[in-house]
Amino acid sequence: MNKKNKKLLYSILFASSSILYFFLAYIGFSKQNIDLTNKANYENFVTDKGIGTRYGSNGNKSEVFYITLKDLDEKLGVYRMTKNYDDLLNKINIGEKVSVYYKPSKNKNENINIDLIQVEKGNEILISKSEYEQKESTLIYIGLIAGFGTLFFSFRYFKYGSIIGNKKETTANNSYKQ
């Protein structure tokens, strides 16, 4: 592969990955400050709760807290990286009437929908939307850091001919070494 094609290939790679990372940040930003009036709301009795394994659309498995409500066709859940769900197990009881706000799952292969945004019992908020928003804000940080990192590495590559170190040498130095 000649230098011109290699440089073009790297340009396309850096540009597309930067766009992808900044798009992730945009997605995370768009999921901030959720308006609950625009989300699906369902109120009924809790028929089951627990910690279960969620099978994602791309084959990933994760441990999540879930609840099922009477006459609702999907299990709703919360994912936490810490895997600490003790507070949720204690707050929500089978037989209680709760109101949930969630995004209905479009993927019928998912066994637990983890887009549960908020759970309320009467006037008490059991699971706050701020937890969901905070989880989604990690997309912003990952997207921005990786996007700017990719731009930085592309700058280094085009300026020095290498991502790490200063490989670019002048032709005078090359002829002197020979």
pLDDT, average across residues 87-112 = 91
The band of 154, judged by pLDDT with boundaries at 50, 70 and 90, is: confident
Average pLDDT over residues 114-137: 88
> Are the C-beta atoms of residues 25 and 18 closer than 8 Å to each other?
no
Residue 93 reports pLDDT greater than 70 = yes
- Checking if the pLDDT of 167 tops 90, the result is no
pLDDT more than 90, % of the chain: 38
User: Average pLDDT for residues 9-25, to the nearest whole number?
Assistant: 83
Going by C-alpha positions, the residue among 134, 131, 39 that lies closest to residue 85 is: 131
- By three-state DSSP, how is residue 164 classified? coil
Query: Regarding the domain delimited by 36-127, which CATH topology (the fold level of the hierarchy) does it fall under?
Result: OB fold (Dihydrolipoamide Acetyltransferase, E2P) (2.40.50)
Instruction: Please check the confidence at residue 161 and state whether its pLDDT lies above 60.
Output: yes
Give mean pLDDT, residues 98-107: 90
The region, left, alpha or beta by phi > 0 then psi within -120 to 50, assigned to residue 71 is left
Asked whether 102 and 117 are in contact (CB, 8 A), the reply is yes
Structure confidence at residue 169 as a pLDDT band (50, 70, 90): low
Q: In 31-128, where does DSSP find H-type helix?
A: 86-91
Please give the structure tokens belonging to residue 114.
């983890």
> pTM (2 decimals)?
0.67
Across the chain, what does the average pLDDT equal?
84
- Banded model confidence at residue 107, pLDDT cuts 50, 70, 90: confident
Which range has the worst mean pLDDT, 6-10, 64-68, 97-101, 120-124? Answer: 6-10
Question: How wide is the angle at C-alpha 108 spanned by C-alphas 102 and 114, nearest 5°?
Answer: 35
